[in-house]
Amino acid sequence: MSSRSVRFTNPPNSPAQLAADPPDREATELPDLTVETVVDVPSDVADVERSAVAARAIDPDGSDSVAESSELRITYQPNRIGQRVMPPPVPVEVLDPPDAAVVAEEEARLLDAVGGNESELTPEQLADLEASITRRVAALPRLTTDGNAPSHLPVRSAPEPVPESLAMGHYRDVAVPPSERGPYPTTVFAPENRQVLWDSAYPWGCNGRVSTSRGSGSGCMVGPRHLLTCSHVVAWNADGSAGWLDFVPGYFDRPPGPFGTARAIKIYSFVKVTPPLDMNESRHDYVVVVLDWRIGDRTGWLGAKSYVDSWDGNAWWTHVGYPADFGGHRPTWQGNISFDGDNNQPDANQSIYHWGDVAVGQSGGGFWAWWDGIPYVVAVQSAHDPGKNWASGGSFIPNLINQVRATFP
């Protein structure tokens, strides 16, 4: 087991505990850090010209100032006018889930009991097989992975509000006759509780926008170069690879964001999920993406823990995502969300139901709470229907993170 993995039993800090003893602090160190961003052009020769420009800087208190900035103009001779270029396919590795050995052992035990003749299995024996697998999976170790709050960023348990100069409308608030209104998201439950997120302090800047050829989603950093997002936003290719995937932490309106941009170089999963999701896919709708540079050293990253059903009904959880009904280019956040884990599924890998406000684009965003000054993610937004939303959670998430971080530190 990785040195980053330990067993845990304690629940997170409640909102009341967090308010009474917040982990908030100011930045204590300002290192000379660089950030990166990438642009693809259809040419093997390109010139970059830098120009100094005066940009608008907006502080958390809403005050405006002028900041020096650089405009980079790329000039190139295209291979062919009108030609498009795309990043190369991303390698994929599908790992065996932690319960694979349990399932294989229990199935072999049952087949031995009937002399290897599967046709002789009775419904009672099959029911016993399922019960035995469930018991053993429930006993698998509950893991946690570490988080990191960098000293060069302030820590805020609640984000600074959006400056009034950047306030924007939400399409649900547009005053038009009911007959002319477009479709409303069916999984936003009145009253609307999402708020636009502006703050880039830790841990808010760990969350960002995921872009793929399938569209856009949300995600969060769970390691120095490790992104947690949903599986169904990935463009799974027929040859076993995946399409390009870019991540911009702290994305707000336009790239590159306050921390730069990063690109996938490998994707790990237990299950390749493609919509519409079946029951098994809804329990495994997450991937860990290895990024092309250690952008997490700039943003920090969240830890990860395993959700347990004994926490059902407690409004502990916070979610950040990029909902289409807010335009898809500004993140929103919502706190005090409660969960209801599926009692018919093991805690190790389960669908977790909730009634937080969710729209298209928030898929892949994490649900997290605070333990002793560090936020830990326990689930990933997956799917929705008119009556509820659900996330994928369980100890398989930190298990997958640990395996990937051991391979790609």
Residue 142 has pLDDT above 80, yes or no: no
Q: What is the Cα–Cα distance from 320 to 334, expressed in whole angstroms?
A: 7
Q: Is residue 297 a contact partner of residue 224, using CB atoms and an 8 Å limit?
A: yes
Residue 246 has pLDDT above 70, yes or no: yes
Q: What is the Cα–Cα distance from 259 to 134, expressed in whole angstroms?
A: 43
Check residue 165 and give its pLDDT: 77
Residue 167 has pLDDT above 80, yes or no: no
Check residue 60 and give its pLDDT: 58
Check residue 175 and give its pLDDT: 42
Check residue 179 and give its pLDDT: 46
Please tell me which residue, 267 or 165, carries the higher pLDDT value.
Answer: 267
Three-state helix/strand/coil letters over 299-349 = HCECEEECCCHHHCCCCCEEEEECCHHHCCCCCEEEEEECEEECCCCCCCC
Check residue 280 and give its pLDDT: 83
Check residue 277 and give its pLDDT: 85
Longest dimension (CA), the chain: 79
Alpha helices in 33-150 (DSSP H): 100-113, 123-138
Q: What is the Cα–Cα distance from 345 to 25, expressed in whole angstroms?
A: 40
Q: What is the Cα–Cα distance from 218 to 269, expressed in whole angstroms?
A: 17
Residue 91 has pLDDT above 80, yes or no: yes
pLDDT category, 172, cuts 50, 70, 90? low
Alpha helices in 114-244 (DSSP H): 123-138
pLDDT category, 367, cuts 50, 70, 90? very high
For the stretch 132-141, pLDDT in tens is: 887 887 777 7
Rounded to an integer, the average pLDDT of 17-40 is: 89
Q: Which fold has domain 15-30+89-94+143-407?
A: Thrombin, subunit H (2.40.10)
Rounded to an integer, the average pLDDT of 390-408 is: 93
Helices (runs of H) and strands (runs of E) counted in the chain: 6, 19
Check residue 78 and give its pLDDT: 87
pLDDT category, 61, cuts 50, 70, 90? low
Q: Of all residues in the chain, what percent carry a pLDDT higher than 70?
A: 92
Rounded to an integer, the average pLDDT of 162-167 is: 80
Residue 364 has pLDDT above 90, yes or no: yes
For the stretch 212-243, pLDDT in tens is: 999 999 999 999 999 999 999 999 999 999 99
Nearest to 362 by CA among 401, 327, 398, 315: 327
Kindly report the number of other CB atoms within 10 A of residue 38's CB atom. 13
On average, the pLDDT of the chain sits at 87
Residue 300 has pLDDT above 50, yes or no: yes
Please tell me which residue, 39 or 183, carries the higher pLDDT value.
Answer: 39
Residues found in the chain: 409
Please tell me which residue, 111 or 154, carries the higher pLDDT value.
Answer: 154
Rounded to an integer, the average pLDDT of 275-300 is: 93
3-class secondary-structure state, position 91 = coil
Q: Is residue 22 a contact partner of residue 157, using CB atoms and an 8 Å limit?
A: yes
Check residue 183 and give its pLDDT: 37
Which part of the chain is CATH 2.40.10.10? Answer: 15-30+89-94+143-407
Please tell me which residue, 202 or 343, carries the higher pLDDT value.
Answer: 202
For the stretch 107-130, pLDDT in tens is: 888 888 888 888 888 888 888 887
Check residue 199 and give its pLDDT: 94
Give one word for 164, left, alpha or beta, with left for phi > 0 and alpha for psi -120 to 50.
alpha
Residue 2 has pLDDT above 60, yes or no: no
Which helix H or strand E contains 398, and what residues bound it? Answer: helix 396-407
pLDDT category, 4, cuts 50, 70, 90? very low
Does pTM top 0.85 for this prediction?
Answer: yes
